[in-house]
Amino acid sequence: MITAPRPALPDLAELEAGAAVVRLPMRVKFRGVTEREALLVRGPAGWGEFSPFLEYDDAEASRWLASGLEAAWEGFPEPVRDRVPVNATVPAVPAGQVPEVLAAFGPVQAVKVKVAERGQALADDIARVAAVRRALPEADLRVDANAGWTVPEAVEALVRLGEFSLEYAEQPVPGINGLAEVRALLEARGTPVRIAADEAVRKAEDPLRVARARAADLIIVKAAPLGGVRRALEIVREAGLPAVVSSALDTSVGLAAGVALAAALPSLPYACGLGTGALLAHDVVSPALVPDGGFLPADRLAERAVPDPELLERYAAPRERRQWWLDRLRRCYAHLAAGH
């Protein structure tokens, strides 16, 4: 288990006084979300984002606060590359909507497609992936099930979807043991689909378990849920597997942390899932951190992640939602202060 020392927390009153809470409309529904809310904080090193999804408890959400505080009070590690390749992300939309979604990302060489959406069938997933393949015949395709399948469902689905030459499948089933079982069964079936661990890494006390169990070929890492860029870098080193950096439907402020993580990794063999700013109809930063030719810039990130005051005002969350986020901030701050 990684136990890097945490820096001292800033003053809570200072955090609350400078916090901005925004509500941003989405272009399409994603994870059931049509509007994305986030609390933004400003510190001596720049801006940070605190935007754990609403269903997360305070213990899990406190890691997102640690990430936002790192960005605003410590800044980011030095990059080893000046730009980061990114994939387009296609939510669980009907196949006919795929070209519209892809158009928002511009030219890309890789696409992640959401599958295993509750209330949908495998036929919907196949149709969606097929539509992406028709639109981008040469692109690298990966699918993300968010642990939505059982082991038998995952094996059946990935055998079928493997016909589209998948680069990898992200978290097809819950848990490390489930991933290992799926990976072994696919190997036995002769289906060459790599397995990527996401939630299994984030929720494990020991990231090395993924490697020891032969549960995955690569890992997905996200700065915010892992507690910040530096902690995520430690996890990648500990796991010893290739890493893909992904976002958590962040604003451009939060995306900057993901880009900083990808830019600081010694090796970056795959395009990253950091182009999700294109899924927001509006952002708080102008210009927004969205892909240009399949890449995001990795230089001057603190400068690129400064919100526009007019946009902060325009997309300010209603008073009751601001209070809800401030209350959550206080609880998660207390969790960090207690050393959890």
pLDDT 10s digits, 275-290: 999 999 999 999 999 9
Residue-level pLDDT at 136: 97
Please indicate if the annotation marks 58 as binding a ligand.
Answer: no
Give the SS3 label for residue 215. Answer: coil
Residue-number span of the structural domain to which 52 is assigned: 12-75+309-337
Q: The domain that contains 62 carries what CATH number? A: 3.30.390.10
Please name the amino acid found at residue 58: D
Our count of domains for the chain comes to: 2
Which one of the listed residues 29, 112, 203, 222 is annotated catalytic? 222
Residue 272 or residue 209, greater confidence: 272
Tell me whether residue 151 is exposed, middle or buried, using C-beta atoms within 10 angstroms of its C-beta: 0 to 12, 13 to 18, 19 or more.
middle
222 belongs to the catalytic site: yes
Place 4 in a pLDDT band, splitting at 50, 70 and 90.
low
Please write the tens of the pLDDT for every residue from 19-46: 999 999 999 888 778 999 999 999 999 9
Same-domain pairing of 181 and 94: yes
Same-domain pairing of 62 and 191: no
Residue-level pLDDT at 2: 46
CB 40 within 8 A of CB 251: yes
Which one of the listed residues 29, 112, 114, 203 is annotated catalytic? 114
From its phi and psi, is residue 313 left (phi > 0), alpha (psi between -120 and 50) or beta? alpha
Please indicate if the annotation marks 57 as binding a ligand.
Answer: no
Query: Under 8 Å CB-to-CB from 202, ≥6 apart: which residues?
Result: 222, 225, 226
Same-domain pairing of 267 and 291: yes
Please indicate if the annotation marks 170 as binding a ligand.
Answer: yes
